[in-house]
Structure 1
């Protein structure tokens, strides 16, 4: 079987410290996964590795069926969309929303190529799907945090990625903005040409039913991996968080409280 992500005995050591330790993880075609981990768990390191920005100290990794060491990483990155808060800091605040979205096709910060009418038509379509078409002609800096996140997702989709990584996409959003963003992600997953989704978070309630599998990572090690409803249960998460917690399921989402 060809996997979307395949990690076999992956470790990464920096300055003598093991940041990732013997990671084994397989994502099959048709699956959307959530990656749950606290700050400092190794999530960012793992994402940098998926994008080929760092190389494993030990182990083998394949993404979209291409084994690292046997593929041009720069070409592979064209098939991977990565939405993260760190990208927001690099963008130009005066760019218009639609120009920012179109720039995703060219993987550039700012728009230097001459886009086609088809590019803008696709950008408009993506913005409509993500419920942010009303931002047309608005500058990026005047958008709310939730609106910016939707624009970044639309930007990532301009390149028609096969894998879309949403790295703490709802971080810093108020309840209404968060739910609006999650609704848009849910709708995106149902599009016929939707990419495989990897949703990275440290909040269980953000893990939508579309994410049928979940990986728990703590201190650089996989704690649990498998069907979301089996992984996000009280005993497992009590062990994961190292404190007594209770899981309450509402609308197929896991909400936590302390015991």
Structure 2
């Protein structure tokens, strides 16, 4: 079991951020975590990475149960985490290659001397993700799409059993988005691929490799299960509280708002 959450609650002050959350992820599954802004996605990700801990309930990630042992540092070394929030944390002057190398040590910045094996692995990942040609450029000068590719390469340096992609296409134009999605699909289909949690609020980003979906609404699980059964006109109209239509094309969903009759 990659992830097991049972009856989880999270409170900040007097407000419940997450309520009665249940979620199980088995090895070999790839999940979409889908929810609108304010649904509680970021709070849930902070829990998975052991940046925060539940108010009550059980959570176990990669066999490590929260509260049983001190697991934060050990757990984070086994999770590849990609988020735009990381982009501001890297040191000015670090180039793309150095950022990727730092992933081998789960550090922000490169403080250890990488071996030839680590360097070769970083080069291979940069090549596979199509960013070897800007490996020597300063990370801060890269485009948003280039930065995201570098972050994914960094996340894969430790061969993590779990890869979490938090809104990875944020700020990308259509072409850059589709190219990045192609790379993500390639990773998901590769031998010994990690389990992937793909976080988004855009239906059209759901790739065929994401066979499971959890719909999160107002801090609660609205529904979870097979993607093709949940990403439908009927389910999403109820989820959004707005009439919508879902059309599947090339094994990917497209979403549009239905025309309202009358005023």
How far apart are 1:132 and its partner, in Å? Answer: 1.3
How far apart are 1:70 and its partner, in Å? Answer: 2.1
How far apart are 1:136 and its partner, in Å? Answer: 2.0
**What's the secondary structure of 2:111's corresponding residue?**
coil
How far apart are 1:82 and its partner, in Å? Answer: 0.9
- Aligned Cα RMSD in Å? 1.0
How far apart are 1:193 and its partner, in Å? Answer: 2.5
**What's the secondary structure of 2:146's corresponding residue?**
helix
What corresponds to 2:246 in structure 1? 247
TM-score of the pair, normalised by structure 1 = 0.97
What corresponds to 1:200 in structure 2? 199
What corresponds to 2:40 in structure 1? 42
What corresponds to 2:190 in structure 1? 191
Q: Does the Cα contact within 8 Å between 1:130 and 1:188 map onto a contact in 2?
A: no
What corresponds to 1:26 in structure 2? 24
What corresponds to 1:12 in structure 2? 10
How far apart are 1:100 and its partner, in Å? Answer: 0.8
Q: Does the Cα contact within 8 Å between 1:129 and 1:188 map onto a contact in 2?
A: no
TM-score of the pair, normalised by structure 2 = 0.95
**Over 3 Å off, 4+ runs:** none
Runs of 5+ consecutive residues of structure 1 not aligned to the other structure: none
CA distance in 2, matches of 1:238, 1:91: 41
How far apart are 1:218 and its partner, in Å? Answer: 0.6
What corresponds to 1:236 in structure 2? 235
Per-residue CA deviation, residues 9-47 of structure 1 (Å, 9 max, x unaligned), is 011111111110100111111100000001100000001
Per-residue CA deviation, residues 152-209 of structure 1 (Å, 9 max, x unaligned), is 0100111111101000000110000000100000001122122110000000111100
Q: Does the Cα contact within 8 Å between 1:129 and 1:187 map onto a contact in 2?
A: no
Single out whichever of 186-195 and 201-210 deviates more from structure 2. Answer: 186-195
CA distance in 2, matches of 1:110, 1:158: 14
CA distance in 1, matches of 2:87, 2:136: 18
What corresponds to 1:175 in structure 2? 174
What corresponds to 1:100 in structure 2? 99
**What's the secondary structure of 1:89's corresponding residue?**
helix
The answer on 1:133 being equivalent to 2:132 is yes
**What's the secondary structure of 2:16's corresponding residue?**
strand
How many aligned residue pairs are there? 257
Per-residue CA deviation, residues 97-141 of structure 1 (Å, 9 max, x unaligned), is 111100111122221211111111000111112121111211112
